[in-house]
Amino acid sequence: GNSVTQMEGPVTLSEEAFLTINCTYTATGYPSLFWYVQYPGEGLQLLLKATKADDKGSNKGFEATYRKETTSFHLEKGSVQVSDSAVYFCALRQGAQKLVFGQGTRLTINP
């Protein structure tokens, strides 16, 4: 079945550091891919998405490129801020209606 594997956390960085959170997937066909962010005590917010190979999703300085050849959708940001501290979930859309989530990566940014 379809699955998503994320980089093991937690990840701790200093402010203004470069961020990469790895995400790889296993799926039949060409699923849509998503990154969701969850701030402490809150629900999930869509951060960015890509619907086909080579698409780049971007939002709030975060980027991720849909790489079919490596089945990856790594999340990157050039300069992180303390306010980026959260849990990040990679996900794919399976069939018409369901999301399959990775296990989540907790990110902490220190000032």
Partner 1 sequence: DAMVIQNPRYQVTQFGKPVTLSCSQTLNHNVMYWYQQKSSQAPKLLFHYYDKDFNNEADTPDNFQSRRPNTSFCFLDIRSPGLGDTAMYLCATYPFGQETQYFGPGTRLLVL
Residues that bind partner 1 (CB under 8 A): 32, 34, 36, 41-46, 49, 51, 89, 93, 96-99, 101-104, 106
Please say which residue, 49 or 74, places its beta carbon nearer to partner 1. Answer: 49
Please say which residue, 17 or 106, places its beta carbon nearer to partner 1. Answer: 106
Please say which residue, 18 or 60, places its beta carbon nearer to partner 1. Answer: 60
Minimum distance of partner 1 from residue 36's CB (angstroms): 8
Alpha carbon distance, N-terminus to C-terminus of the chain: 41
For residue 109, CA distances in Å to 13, 81, 84 come to 5, 6, 7
Give burial (CB, 10 Å; 0-12/13-18/19+) of 80: buried
Measured from the Cβ of residue 26, the count of other Cβ atoms closer than 10 Å reads 13
Minimum distance of partner 1 from residue 26's CB (angstroms): 15
